[in-house]
C-alpha cells in the first residue's frame, strides 16, 4: 500500500467516518419518507447514476457526490467525491480494474490491497441508495428523520471511464 505520509491510523479514521456517513445514508434512504414531483421509474433500471448526499452523523456534516457506472455488473465503478468531517476526500472504487484509490490530505493512496473490503462496503452502500431511491419521484429526497438529503439526482448521465481512475 502506498502511504506516502498519510499515517495508517488517519486512513482508518477517515474510512470509519465515511462508513458511518454511508450507513446513515442507507438507513435513511431505505426508511422512506422522501419525494417530490416527477417520475422515478428509471432508477431501478439505470446503468449509471449521479447524486449529491448531505448527511449529519453525530453532529458531523458529510457532503459528497456519488457517481456510479456499469450498475448491476461486476464492473461497477464508483466515485465518491466530497467532504467528510471537514476533510476533502475522494474515493474511487473501480470494479473493472479491481482497484481502489483514496485522495486525502493532498495525496492519492492506493488501497487496492483491500479491494474486496472497499468493494463490499461501497457496493452495498450504493445498492442501499439505489433501493431507497427506487421510489423517488423527482426533486430533492429528504429522509423522514431529516439527517440525509439526496439531491441533483441524474439517471443515466454520461460518465467517462476516466472519472473512475486517479490522475
Question: Residues 111-127: pLDDT tens digits?
Answer: 999 899 888 888 888 88
Residue spans per domain, the chain: 8-34+42-157
- What pLDDT is attached to residue 43? 81
Residue 108 φ/ψ, nearest 5 degrees: -90, 140
pLDDT digits (tens, 9 = 90+) for 43-74: 878 899 998 888 776 677 788 899 999 998 88
Mark the ranges of the chain whose per-residue pLDDT is less than 70: 1-42, 57-58, 137-147, 167
Amino acid at each position: 500500500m502506498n502511504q506516502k505520509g498519510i499515517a495508517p491510523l488517519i486512513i482508518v479514521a477517515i474510512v470509519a467516518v465515511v462508513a458511518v456517513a454511508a450507513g446513515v445514508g442507507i438507513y435513511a434512504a431505505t426508511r422512506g419518507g422522501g419525494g417530490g414531483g416527477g417520475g422515478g421509474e428509471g432508477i431501478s433500471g439505470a446503468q449509471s447514476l449521479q447524486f449529491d448526499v448531505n448527511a449529519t452523523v453525530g453532529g458531523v456534516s458529510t457532503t459528497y457526490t456519488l457517481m456510479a457506472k456499469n450498475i448491476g455488473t461486476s464492473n461497477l465503478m464508483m466515485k465518491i467525491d466530497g467532504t467528510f468531517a471537514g476533510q476533502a476526500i475522494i474515493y474511487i472504487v473501480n470494479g473493472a480494474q479491481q482497484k481502489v484509490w483514496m485522495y486525502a490530505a493532498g495525496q492519492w493512496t492506493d488501497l487496492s490491497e483491500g479491494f474486496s473490503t472497499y468493494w463490499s462496503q461501497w457496493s452495498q452502500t450504493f445498492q442501499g441508495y439505489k433501493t431507497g431511491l427506487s421510489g423517488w419521484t423527482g426533486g430533492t429526497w429528504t429522509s423522514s428523520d431529516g439527517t440525509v438529503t439526496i439531491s441533483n439526482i441524474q439517471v443515466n448521465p454520461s460518465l467517462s471511464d476516466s472519472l473512475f481512475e486517479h490522475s
